[in-house]
Amino acid sequence: MNKGIVTLSAAAVISSAFASPALADTYIVKSGDSLSKIASAHHITVTKLKQMNKLTSDSLRINQKLTVPDNKITIKKANAVTYTVAKGDSLIKIANKYSLTLAELKKLNNLKTASIYIGQKLIISQTKQTTVLTLPKPANTEGKTESSAYLVKSGDSLWKIASQFKTSPQSIIDFNHLKTDALTVGQSLLIPKSGTAPAPAPPAEAKPNPLPAKDASSVIAMAKKMIGVPYSWAGASPDGFDCSGFIYYVFKNSGYQISRVSAATYYDLGKSVATPKPGDLVFFSTNPASSALISHMGIYIGNGQFIHASSSKGVQISSLSMSYYQTRFAGYRSL
């Protein structure tokens, strides 16, 4: 008998472009402001600022609104897990199998009736997230451009980007003060013009550990209080959790400012960790057909164990030595 097939697809859309008119913001003039001061704060020239606002003089008035450059773009990403209808299936049978109500399943697929057919693809899980990226600000130079901003795409390498912009990989490394030649999708780079000197490195700043040991203990204690809470797709409360909703709830209620995103996005946002400490995050790729896709996560609690919201048993503690997790392990990250 044919069996249904579960697959996952992802799509990303950049919702704003690099053109200056699209990347614009509004600034309200305050007492003590001048065109030079405002231009410097937004990394443009006085000439450019006057052009953007069609100004014919340097005079300003308090509460005057000026158009200034914005350096943010928004990336919208949607992940969908689909099920292929097999012989003998019914909509309610599929809904029960994936812990959905009939209404939820129909809403996910915009179905008006319960009629389905063999081979039909149904969405059984969907996650959407929006990521705002801040681009590097261009140098404030009069009359010439020293660099341009570039957003790393899938398949890019330093050599490929350098060839595209007729510069060298080392120039890009130096100009952006990169510690490695590894790139990540969505990473923003300043691309120097040929012969442009690298920008001065910012002064080193001592940054606190984002998750000190004492705070890791409070995170783990909060997580353990949730043991036994059932699994609920898209759930992020003690009424029910999915894996990323569990992380969001635990960290937020331990005093951290954290966004509610998918396991894949937490993986992308985190810092790679070779040797995990309690409080770090552990990630898995549970789909054998797509080993690069992150689809599950938990909190490492030490001694080879982690706590997570399992789709079968809810919040529980599991061992990384279990064959299921060993074969699906994707790595550790710290937020």
Catalytic residue numbers, as ranges? 243, 296, 308
Question: Distance between CA 191 and CA 51 in Å, rounded?
Answer: 25
Q: If you count them, how many residues does the chain have?
A: 335
Closest residue by Cα to residue 137 from 40, 206, 55:
40
Judged on CB neighbours under 10 Å (0-12, 13-18, 19+), 321 is: exposed
Contact yes or no for 216/179 (Cβ under 8 A): no
Question: Distance between CA 152 and CA 131 in Å, rounded?
Answer: 15
Question: Distance between CA 335 and CA 330 in Å, rounded?
Answer: 16
List phi, psi (to 5°) of 220: -65, -40
**Residue whose structure tokens are 């937004």:** 42
Question: Distance between CA 242 and CA 253 in Å, rounded?
Answer: 16
